[in-house]
Amino acid sequence: MKSLGSIRRSFTPWNDPAAKPYIAFENVTKRFGDFTAVNNLSLTVFEREFFALLGASGCGKSTLLRMLAGFDEPTAGRILLDGQDLRGIPPYRRPVNMMFQSYALFPHMTVEANIAFGLKQEGMPKAEIGTRVAEMLRLVKLEQFAKRKPHQLSGGQRQRVALARSVAKRPKVLLLDEPLGALDKKLREETQFELMDLQQSLGLTFIVVTHDQEEAMTMADRIAILDKGEVMQVATPAEVYEAPSSRFVAGFVGNVNMFEGTVASRDDSGARIASSNGLTIMTKNAGAASAGSPVVFAIRPEKIKVSSRKPANDDVNVAEGEIYDIAYLGDMTVYHVKLADGHVVKTSSLNASRISDDPLSWNDRAWISFSPDAGVVLAK
């Protein structure tokens, strides 16, 4: 049997021009009165994909999910599921199921009855319902809680019941609205991996809505970053993090340092940028920027090296400053370095050994440096 990892690694239908999208939002707009929740948005999701919609509250991610489930209809545009236009199909006839943020467990029914509810609606024979419910309870490890009512369960258990209920019907697509939002941090991390395993073993398409970038990065094959009802970028977690398409994406996912400047020179191997605060930046990832154009250079904190000694690579990708703030987090240490012009650069260093050979303290002189491959140039 192939391990889940190897399946995941080889799963890249979005790079295959022949692959047919399973779900397609085509120029979808949704307005509530004067408020535009979703603005002319197009998006495709492939079969068996674990897709995340990531954005701050009010970015339209939940509206997308609700339109797919059938609770809201698009004002304009259309949504296709397996080639079929979903317009006008009521929620109870759509082959998608949703796991609600509030879990929406039926308070007057037992765990068992909650899970069986959807199966009863499709007229499944009683014996078969029993088998399926037992299977679902086993899947979420709640066998001994079958006869309990929702209020007799802990938060984590309720979450599992909601999950079991929503996958019991084997929907083509499972929609998850902030599925882990109500759990505490530790439980959330465990559950993330369980959700991934579940998705792989059932072979379902998952679309998860979240505002938690870590959650999206952990679970999803691809992430769509939304802002004000528009898609900012759709890419794998690594691409989103390492090659953000815009300032917004770079700033939204993870921490980032931005340097504004202009392209001084440009050739095939990269660009030389003069930043407005006096740095000379050499980068290999210059995108489409041409000489003379104003750009933003973005670099992640962990890709910047801090040292008490001046690095050897002359005056390129180097700046001097002083240690302004230190946060020791155990696995790594975050340094805020204040440059001569007052610009504060965030850096983080992995604590690979227990005692640093180059200890830095508050107000120490320090040099920051980075390699030509460490950052990316974004259009301004």
Partner 1 sequence: MNSSWSRFNVTSIVLGFAFLYLPIVLLVVFSFNESKLVTVWGGFSTKWYGSLFQNKGLMDAAWVTARVALISATVATVLGTLAALTLTRYTRFRGRVLFSGMVFAPLVMPEVITGLSLLLLFVAVGLDRGFLTVTLAHITLTMCFVAVVVQSRLLTFDRSLEEAAMDLGAPPVKTFFQITFPVILPAIISGWMLAFTLSLDDLVIASFTSGPGATTLPMKIYSQVRLGVTPEINAACTILIAVVAIGVIAASVVNKQREVQRLRDEQAAQRG
State the residues that interact with partner 1 by CB under 8 A: 69-71, 90-93, 96-98, 100-102, 104, 106-108, 117-118, 121-122, 148-149, 151-154, 157, 165-166, 169
Closer residue to partner 1, CB minimum distance, 88 or 90: 90
Angle formed at CA 73 by CA 178 and CA 124, multiple of 5 degrees: 70
Contact 207, 65 (CB under 8 A): yes
Closer residue to partner 1, CB minimum distance, 17 or 107: 107
Closer residue to partner 1, CB minimum distance, 118 or 321: 118
Closer residue to partner 1, CB minimum distance, 124 or 332: 124
Task: Measure Cα distances from 319 to 10, 53, 279, 323, 344 in Å.
Answer: 41, 38, 7, 12, 11
Closer residue to partner 1, CB minimum distance, 72 or 215: 72
Closest approach of partner 1 to the CB of residue 61, in Å: 16
> For strand 344-350 and strand 332-339, is the pairing parallel, antiparallel, or unpaired?
antiparallel
Closest approach of partner 1 to the CB of residue 174, in Å: 11
Closest approach of partner 1 to the CB of residue 152, in Å: 4
Closest approach of partner 1 to the CB of residue 357, in Å: 46
Closer residue to partner 1, CB minimum distance, 164 or 235: 164
Closest approach of partner 1 to the CB of residue 358, in Å: 46
For the chain, strand residue ranges (E) read: 23-32, 35-45, 50-54, 76-81, 84-85, 96-99, 173-177, 205-210, 222-227, 230-235, 257-267, 270-275, 280-283, 294-299, 305-307, 318-328, 332-339, 344-350, 365-369, 375-379
Instruction: In whole angstroms, give the CA distance from residue 369 to residue 377.
Output: 17
Phi first, then psi: give them for residue 280, nearest 5 degrees: -105, 120
Closest approach of partner 1 to the CB of residue 200, in Å: 23
Closer residue to partner 1, CB minimum distance, 2 or 151: 151
Closest approach of partner 1 to the CB of residue 28, in Å: 20
> Angle of helix 155-167 relative to helix 111-121, nearest 10 degrees?
20
Instruction: In whole angstroms, give the CA distance from residue 239 to residue 88.
Output: 36
| CA dihedral sign, ordered 40, 42, 43, 44 | positive
